[in-house]
Amino acid sequence: MEPASTRRNSFQRGEPLAKIFGSPARLKTIRFFVFNKSQTFTLTEIAQKTKLSNDVAHRELSDLISSDLVRKKGTGVPVHYQTNHNFEHLDALDLFIRDTTNVRPKSLITSLRRAGVLRLVVLSGFFMGVLESQIDLLVVGDRLEEKVLAAVVRSLEAELGREIRYASFITEDFRYRLGVYDRLLRDVFDYPHRLLVDKIGI
């Protein structure tokens, strides 16, 4: 049985697509292989990155192999798995998953608040359809705990099935960088972005 913590994760709770695809675990696994088509992974790596138990990850892999979306790669030990690039509906599935993969702002903000006092939270890059961006998530705050922030991002990555590029700054540092028109910040604010929290007055 899938762990309760997986079933009730704040990023995933009640997501309609999870019902369509059968379970949150199935949706997470499909997203993972859609967003990481060029890479191969062991069962342990898949379980770690999706935050599923080995048993649940193995079950999902077996079904996705049966559906031809995933295939075993090579003959080494441990076994590696990869997206089947010859899967008949891969392009359509890729487009659908990208169009329907998003973040629940309230859940994300609630989770980020555990890391410190939030002054600014901005979604950019992947969340706005700009895949070549350097940053997907910008967090500015006071007394930020980087370990907690990193844990929140890892949980978000597990739900969305891909790496989230993020940057965090204390308020004073951010104001300085903004004042000198820092290149990293230009990569956020010169392109499509969404303000989830703005107590600085951007």
Residue spans per domain, the chain: 4-100, 105-198
pLDDT at residue 193, as a whole number: 95
Q: Average pLDDT, stretch 109-130?
A: 94
Q: Average pLDDT, stretch 132-150?
A: 94
Q: What is the CATH number of domain 4-100?
A: 1.10.10.10
Q: Across all residues in the chain, what is the average pLDDT? A: 89
Q: Per-residue DSSP letters for 20-80?
A: HHSSHHHHHHHHHHHHTTT--EEHHHHHHHHT--HHHHHHHHHHHHHTTSEEEESS-SS-E
Q: Does the pLDDT value for residue 147 go beyond 60? A: yes
User: Phi-psi category of 70—alpha, beta or left, where left has phi over 0 and alpha has psi -120 to 50?
Assistant: beta
Instruction: Report which of 93, 47, 99 is spatially closest to residue 68, judged by C-alpha positions.
Output: 93
Percent share of the chain, pLDDT over 90? 76
pLDDT at residue 129, as a whole number: 83
- The neighbouring-strand residues paired with 82 are 71
Tokens linked to 27: 């949706």
What digits encode the pLDDT tens for the residues 168-178? Answer: 999 999 999 99
Residue 15 pLDDT class (50, 70, 90 cuts):
low
Q: 141, 168 in Cβ contact below 8 A? A: yes
